[in-house]
Structure 1
Amino acid sequence: MMMFSHDEKSLFNFVVRDGNGVKGMVDLGLSYVPQAYIQPAEERIDKPRARTHAEPPIDLSKLDGSDHDQVVNQIIRAAETLGFFQVVNHGVPVELLESLKTAAHNFFALPPEKKAVYRKGVSPSPLVKYGTSFVPEKENALEWKDYVCMGYTNDDDALQFWPKECSEVALEYLKRSSKMVKKLIEILIGEVTNESKIEELMTVKMVNMNFYPTCPNPDATVGVGRHSDIGILTVLFQDGIGGLYVKVEEGNNKEEWVEIPPIAGSLVINVGDTLQILSNGRYRSAEHRVRTTSSQARVSVPIFIIPKSTEKIAPLPEAVERDGVAYYREFLYQDYRNNFFGNKHEGKKSLDFAKI
């Protein structure tokens, strides 16, 4: 493996341009955090001071029984308040989730040159992108994360183009989650839109595998900076190590960061910006971020459910009628995506693009 010197340009070329990633840097025996990864004090995560989210996971199997209405209310309340909730009995076998974790570790354990073939601009398929941090060219401090993003068009393309170390299990994870995702979206906006509209909003699906290598000083870094997701919903598998934090806004402009603890067999559901806009602000996309660890490398696997690029997004008419005013304008979804991916993570600033 090629070494890098201590200057910032050499490090950037080694990690980003050449595709070695954070893992490649750590594998050299790194005992310190390079300056390029040290976050300003206000962006660091104070783990000892953060409380743990105490709400139990929502049992989705009860949607088919006498507790249906109670579970629906739990889902709606969580989407209206925190924007995050955990679910169990969701239709994705626990054994599959364990295989997903193994597959993610197998991919990121590959030699750097085998992962680097999927870098943006050289990847053999536009469906697959391997990278590090978020928008490294624009970030003041880099994120301590490597990832591979796999876009879904159909099963055959996924099995042909996605990395073979994870293609089969990632595809199965996506397919097993789809019924649950549709059911959740129907609960959240089914009363104010029809099934064909829901299908259109679920057109694009992406599976990401995120890898957070061990870090010499987790207190000085972040795995992912504070942001909200831009789609309808995100389904997230956590591997049991922990590190996901969500901002809770309280009265008198008070806010705090709450850790979402990994619960065995559960999945995390995350409201995205698009759902906040469609609901005219009834549901909230939660600002969240990820902390690094010094003891174990961590993986997480989100599925992003987003509209197609040509979809026009605006508050649903019934939501505007309910509120008497539209809080967001109509826009082409591709423009929203371009704005989001063209800037560094900065909380929920991406929503400013859609506000009236």
Structure 2
Amino acid sequence: MAPSFNDENSLFNFVVKDGNGVKGLVDSGLTEVPGRYIQPPHQRINKQQAATALPENMAIDLSELDGPNHDQVVKAIAHAAETLGFFQVVNHGVPLKLLDSLKVSAHQFFSQPAEKKAAYLKAVSPSPIVKYGTSFVPEVEKALEWKDYISMVYTNDSDALEFWPNECKEVALEYIKTSKEMVKRLLQELIGNLEVNLDDSRLESLMGLRMVNMNFYPTCPNPELTVGVGRHSDMGTLTVLLQDGIGGLYVKKGENSSSGNEEWIEIPPIDGALVINIGDSLQIVSNGRYKSAEHRVRTTSSASRVSVPIFNLPLPVAKIGPLPELVARDGVARYRELLFQEYMNNFFGNAHEGKKSLDFAAIN
């Protein structure tokens, strides 16, 4: 018989503080979603009302960057960055076998007993570069997200091999290392498209902090009442995301914030592809030319889903602000210059709320 979680404190302690996570709730035999997970109606995801972005229009072949179609490929990447903020890439240089191993490793990590995962809770983790948790910032959220995660910050190979969980450390490290050149190339092409030249050290400072997450979305008895991840944009420069075959990732089309006119597009999984999305830092650096993508994740009752993002972020000590050449050309700076650490502190201090995180840097 499933335990009762009518008391919000007992639910919070079980899921968050004790590290059982959403998976612990599901494993307990839960047949309906506890009230703390029920989203207000305007935050719920109506699958029927979302458009599906056709795969053939979304997958960009990165191998063609080195051929005669280079300019057309850059144009496609830039167009996606200026509009939806999301695109998918194939022939990206990350081995397909590794992508399969990542999904298997994610399931292996989350299928462990709760006490094994709880060893990485923030308060007891052997290192600040590894954190296991649930939802986003559960202490400040009115409604919790139906998601557990393990987050691993990359400092160097030896730290990763020593502190990251055994179930996933080798494949996660390989994922970060094999994707680095792709991320650098995409950033070079996007900055070049703005007709600005950045030297390698400046480029590196925009992607010098890398963090890989493994996200786990357990089956949900009432998916229509919940979200896996609430609407938000990522804080970094570029995010590389591996989806499994289940789907459930939605991106908002355009920046119209009027809830009556919103259009959401489902990003369908494409076998062997990686999803790329623009983060807030690149929107700031490009003075608003490139758009960070507002996105969210639906839950499902049919199967547990995993996703594995790499967040490529500026170094915490890096200053982020509109590139001076763009400010001179545009005649206005739309964002102030600030340390990325300040932006990051603000981002993690608030619940997900669309692209509100950008207001922290915006010049009104």
Compute the TM-score of the two structures, normalised by the length of structure 1: 0.98
How many residue pairs end up in the alignment? 356
Residue 199 of structure 2 is matched in structure 1 by: 194
Residue 84 of structure 2 is matched in structure 1 by: 82
One-letter amino acid of the structure 1 residue matched with residue 219 of structure 2: T
Shift of 1:83: 0.2
2:357 aligned residue (330, 350, 355): 350
1:218 and 2:213 correspond: no
1:207 and 2:209 correspond: no
Residue 28 of structure 1 is matched in structure 2 by: 28
* Cα deviation code 1:70-96 (max 9, x no counterpart): 001000000000000000000011111
Secondary structure of 2:58 counterpart: coil
Conserved in 1, the CA contact under 8 Å of 2:145 and 2:228? yes
Residue 165 of structure 2 is matched in structure 1 by: 163
Secondary structure of 2:205 counterpart: helix
Secondary structure of 1:10 counterpart: helix
Residue 6 of structure 1 is matched in structure 2 by: 6
| Uncovered stretches (5+) of structure 2, i.e. residues with no partner | none
Shift of 1:48: 0.9
Shift of 1:4: 5.4
1:284 and 2:291 correspond: yes
One-letter amino acid of the structure 2 residue matched with residue 17 of structure 1: K
* Cα deviation code 1:188-222 (max 9, x no counterpart): 11341222200111110000000000000110000
| Uncovered stretches (5+) of structure 1, i.e. residues with no partner | none
Q: Distance in 1 between matches of 2:188 and 2:72?
A: 16
1:68 and 2:70 correspond: yes
Q: More displaced, 52-61 or 82-91?
A: 52-61
In angstroms, what is the RMSD of aligned CA positions? 1.5
Compute the TM-score of the two structures, normalised by the length of structure 2: 0.96
Conserved in 2, the CA contact under 8 Å of 1:84 and 1:269? yes
Secondary structure of 1:269 counterpart: strand
1:243 aligned residue (224, 248, 251): 248
Conserved in 1, the CA contact under 8 Å of 2:5 and 2:34? no
Q: Distance in 2 between matches of 1:264 and 1:60?
A: 15
Q: Distance in 2 between matches of 1:8 and 1:342?
A: 22
1:92 and 2:94 correspond: yes
Residue 142 of structure 2 is matched in structure 1 by: 140
Q: Distance in 2 between matches of 1:325 and 1:198?
A: 23
Shift of 1:282: 0.2
Conserved in 2, the CA contact under 8 Å of 1:4 and 1:14? no
* Cα deviation code 1:279-319 (max 9, x no counterpart): 00000001000000101000000000011111111101111
* Cα deviation code 1:309-337 (max 9, x no counterpart): 11111101111122111000011111111
Q: Distance in 1 between matches of 2:59 and 2:84?
A: 13
Secondary structure of 2:310 counterpart: strand
One-letter amino acid of the structure 2 residue matched with residue 59 of structure 1: D
Secondary structure of 1:209 counterpart: strand
Q: Distance in 2 between matches of 1:106 and 1:3?
A: 25
Moved over 3 A (4+): 2-5, 250-254
Conserved in 1, the CA contact under 8 Å of 2:212 and 2:310? yes
